Homo-oligomer: A and B are copies of this chain.
Amino acid sequence: MTKRILIITGDGGESYETWFAVQRFQEAGYLAHVAAPSKRRLNLVMHDFEPGWDTYKESPGYAIESDLTFDEVRVDDYEAVMCIGGRAPEYLRNNTRVLAILREFDAQQKWLFSICHGIQLIAAAGLAKGKRFTCYEHVRFEVEAVGGQYVAADTVTDGRLVSSPTWREQPEFYRHVFACLQQPASVGARP
């Protein structure tokens, strides 16, 4: 069977991060499934930086069709999970099914990938505690609050958690992601 990656997002998810993940995993031979609260065309957003703003600017992004609902997810079917950034993680962290899915990935010793605000899901699921991580610089506070240890780096791997700051660091991030997928997650170690 073709190996599968689960991608978690929803309305407000960052569009470039979502499409890059889907297509990058497909290129590498995986089936990449986008899970969301419902199965439909998602309203993804564009988070980009523009002169004259002290933070990123949000605009409509590339849309994507979700492949399945969170309720339909069977963790056994997937090698790993990717938590996409943007504004979706903010409300998805209040979705108990999402948190249960992430904990099950962890319990099965599978890889947890997180980019940008995706770390909010990892934190809410209780999986950042005691872990070194990175994320969009302005989200670090929330993760440190639950016991994570922020590292300013393009990618940070700690155990089975691989995290990255924003879509700007995707080249370094995906190098690590695929290096990790070469080895069984259950033996993941601090690099």
Chain A contact residues, CB within 8 Å of chain B: 10-12, 16, 19-20, 23-24, 26-27, 37-38, 41, 43, 45-46, 48, 50-63, 87-88, 90-91, 93-94, 120, 123-124, 137-142, 145-146, 167, 170-172, 174-175
Q: Count the copies.
A: 6
Give Cα A88–Cα B172 distance, bound, in whole angstroms: 28
Known A-B contacts A171-B23, A175-B27; A53 and B11 likewise in contact (beta carbons under 8 Å): yes
The listed residue with most B CB atoms (<10 A of its CB), out of A27, A52, A57, is A27
Contact partners of A53 in chain B: CB under 8 A: 11-12, 43
- Distance of A48 from chain B, by nearest CB (Å): 5
**Chain B residues positioned under 8 Å from A62 (CB to CB):** 16, 46, 48
Q: Which of B56, B61, B90, B167 contacts A139 (CB 8 A)?
A: B90
Contact: B43 with A11, CB < 8 Å?
Answer: no
Q: Which residue of the partner chain B has the closest CB to A49?
A: B63
Alpha-carbon distance between A174 and B27 when the two chains are bound, in angstroms: 7
CA distance A123 to B139 in the complex (A): 13
- Offer 11 A-B interface pairs, CB within 8 angstroms, sorted by A: A11-B53, A11-B55, A12-B56, A23-B171, A27-B175, A46-B61, A50-B63, A90-B138, A94-B137, A123-B141, A123-B145
A46 to chain B: which residues have CB within 8 Å? 46, 61-62
* Interchain CA distance A20-B11 in the complex, whole Å: 22
Chain B minimum-CB-distance residue to A64:
B48
Contact yes or no, A55 B91, CB < 8 A:
yes
